[in-house]
Chains A and B, each alone.
Chain A
């Protein structure tokens, strides 16, 4: 289980970002032609009333005593070119926008109400070419659409796999259930970021025993895992009634997940962060062998997470190729390198058990994950640029 991923997809972090204007908070000093904006209770002082076209950075400081916002508006005074919300008193936030030459308005909105304090702003022609937003939009629609189809396909497979798994387990056919466990969970792991965005399903389906909260009832995959691969001492096998109950719940949750993903939509930043999040998940749980405490099938999960991260990345790739080709190449190369290391541990249709890996082999996997994760963590900011 990974609670971080659910935060990345469901949290407010992503909700506020738009493609045109990416906001960030850079604490370092001004310079590089940055403009400073001071938003008081009644005024909106901008350090200059013009800037050359290209990337323009407004460092907005709120010296008033209410929450304020800052907008860059188009010449009609209505269309928002870039905005930054929720600047609280005395804090400074950056608005980074790419703007073509033309007439604009700057606007602060103390208290977040009313028309705001507007002033004319001119962007002069620096000769720099800006990318057309129309193409970006088409690329985004394609990327997010493809990803939605992928998630639907994987949840289809997860559901049918879980049906067979649950059937074998309930019938007491443990050998079959053990054989189906890892190959079925791989579909879950591939879409873990999405599955975990539904806060209620993740704890019910994927909680590890060590992560349980006091009073929390343990259900889901890992409870069954422990029953299928019981510890040598101190474990009492589940009764038939308990088996049926936990199996039925897992199937019910999987059906809920399946139905919710029919209509789920995605954003490019959600995909970028989700892709990175899947690799974090590998780094935190799989490469340490903590995820599959009893079955030791961590490498199946590992592959699932990598698959899911790769699909999200591949879907974003056309955008990234435009925005940051060097980063695109770096990430692609490192995906290939990681897969190569992982492939060394294939055995039959699956993988070696985690316990069969040497310390050196685990370290090699970890290094490959680090090498990929570092550039991958920059993808979201790059596609939003």
Chain B
């Protein structure tokens, strides 16, 4: 494993810094760079081409000592930089009589495109009683708070919230799980794992080099997603800019991560006619074209009228209500994953979409849209939101520094 390190790291840098943005984008490009560097202006795992697997974890901070928290973030950053380069979590050699520093299950596996993205929940700044926990409450971003209750939410407290989050994405589930396991281990005593979620089958494309995947409803998902190849749109809709929040300038270059565990009523959906399914979504199931015609990437025509003058695309279809034109022009970068957690007590498949979106401001880019979807979307009948989290994602760390330095070092 160590042998891979040198050459791999160099390759990774080239791949991220310039490589993938300028590479010819073709649908049949199946060889994305296998490594993304941890350090950089933005954290990896946002505009990085979406990998196939996810292990997302949310933690409660158990320490009351600011220095311990900072030490953890340093340790996490260091371990993350190593693991994303395909190395073991720790360089430390341990005694034969001590447990190994790295848990070992990723030994011999390549980096598999691993990215580790760290975020801060509202509870990191203030506890439930409003107390400033680590002397950073004054610098809490205004938009960082518990998301409001949306109609139809059935949130499980054991799958919601958290003071810190880690999004680990990779093309190999073992590599993603290894990353979270080792970071959780490093954190014992300082943080406690609150909840986590495994995901498979990325449900959106974040690069034009990727074909559009399908969600568990069988439809292509993410056709109209923001793509890494549109840096101007990322600046406009994803990255927090200087001046966005004068009290939280440390977040500039970062983003907000919205996580929602969305259970799908798989069984009732499967008993729904194709006509009804397509009407709910607003797209053709087979090829992903909007029902107003064309191919997958054709612009959606909401004005098109059919027989009797009624709109071809139902005004309450998902595509209509989620479209930027319905949402004041805002867009988000979605990075959701399908999930299946076995079955529930009723013998139904416990499955759905683990929705992750990165937005510049949840107050303008997520909450209004979700409010609209929750009350009007025809698809809502087949969905139940069971988990929720909102995190501020700091900008990327400089080499040798750590994620969150801009907050804790008062940059």
Contact = CB atoms under 8 A, between A and B. Distances in A.
A and B assemble together = yes
A262 interface: no
Interface in A327-382: 359, 362-363, 366-367, 370, 373-374, 376-377, 380-381
A380 B276 CA distance: 12
A27 B307 contact: no
A210 B292 CA distance: 35
Contact of A90 (B153, B154, B289, B381): B289
Chain B interface residue count: which class? 35 or more
Contacts of B307: 16, 69, 85-86, 112
B381 A373 contact: no
A90 B153 CA distance: 38
Contacts of B346: 287-288, 362-363, 366
Contact of B275 (A4, A24, A69): A24
B265 interface: yes
A207 to B, nearest CB: 9
A90 B293 contact: yes
A380 B275 CA distance: 12
Contacts of A363: 345-347
Given A280-B268, A288-B346, A62 B154 contact: no
B151 A27 contact: no
Contacts of A287: 346
A89 B152 contact: no
A296 interface: no
A25 B274 CA distance: 7
Interface in B279-332: 279, 284-287, 289, 291-295, 298, 304-307, 310, 312, 314, 316
Contacts of B274: 24-26
A212 interface: yes
A67 B312 contact: yes
Interface in B328-342: none
Nearest to A87: B293
Interface stretch (A7-15, A44-52, A166-174, A228-236): A7-15
B272 interface: yes
B87 interface: no
Interface residues of A, number: 48
A91 B279 contact: no
Given A91-B289, A290-B154, A11 B294 contact: no
B347 A367 contact: yes
A265 to B, nearest CB: 19
A86 B347 contact: no
B348 interface: yes
B271 interface: yes
A88 B284 CA distance: 11
Given A88-B293, A90-B289, A211 B271 contact: no
Given A12-B310, A67-B312, A89 B294 contact: yes
A283 B278 CA distance: 22
A254 interface: no
A86 B305 CA distance: 8
A210 B152 contact: yes
A280 B273 contact: no
Q: Which of B151, B154, B304 has the most CB of A within 10 A?
A: B151
B371 interface: yes
A25 B275 contact: yes
Quick one: which of A25, A276, A373, A376 has the most chain B CB within 10 A? A25
B378 interface: yes
A90 B291 CA distance: 10
Interface in B138-170: 148-149, 151-154
Nearest to A12: B310
Contacts of B148: 214
B267 interface: yes
Contact of A283 (B149, B267, B272, B295): B267
Contact of A210 (B153, B273, B286): B153
Contacts of B149: 210
Given A91-B293, A213-B151, A280-B268, A13 B275 contact: yes
A67 B348 contact: no
A7 B375 contact: no
Contacts of B268: 280, 283-284, 373
Interface of B: 148-149, 151-154, 265, 267-268, 271-276, 278-279, 284-287, 289, 291-295, 298, 304-307, 310, 312, 314, 316, 345-348, 371, 374-375, 378, 380-382
Interface of A: 2-4, 7-8, 11-13, 16, 24-27, 62, 67, 69, 85-86, 88-91, 112, 210-214, 216, 276, 280, 283-284, 287-288, 290, 359, 362-363, 366-367, 370, 373-374, 376-377, 380-381
Given A4-B381, A88-B291, A216-B151, 16 more contacts: A4-B382, A12-B279, A12-B314, A13-B276, A27-B287, A89-B293, A90-B293, A90-B298, A212-B151, A276-B271, A280-B268, A283-B267, A283-B268, A284-B381, A363-B346, A380-B273
28 contacts: A3-B380, A7-B378, A12-B310, A13-B279, A25-B274, A27-B285, A27-B286, A27-B287, A67-B312, A69-B307, A85-B306, A86-B307, A88-B294, A90-B294, A91-B284, A91-B289, A91-B291, A112-B306, A210-B154, A211-B151, A213-B151, A214-B151, A283-B265, A283-B268, A284-B268, A290-B154, A363-B345, A370-B267
10 smallest CB-CB distances across A and B, nearest first, come from A88-B293, A27-B286, A377-B271, A89-B293, A86-B306, A4-B381, A366-B346, A85-B307, A213-B375, A280-B268
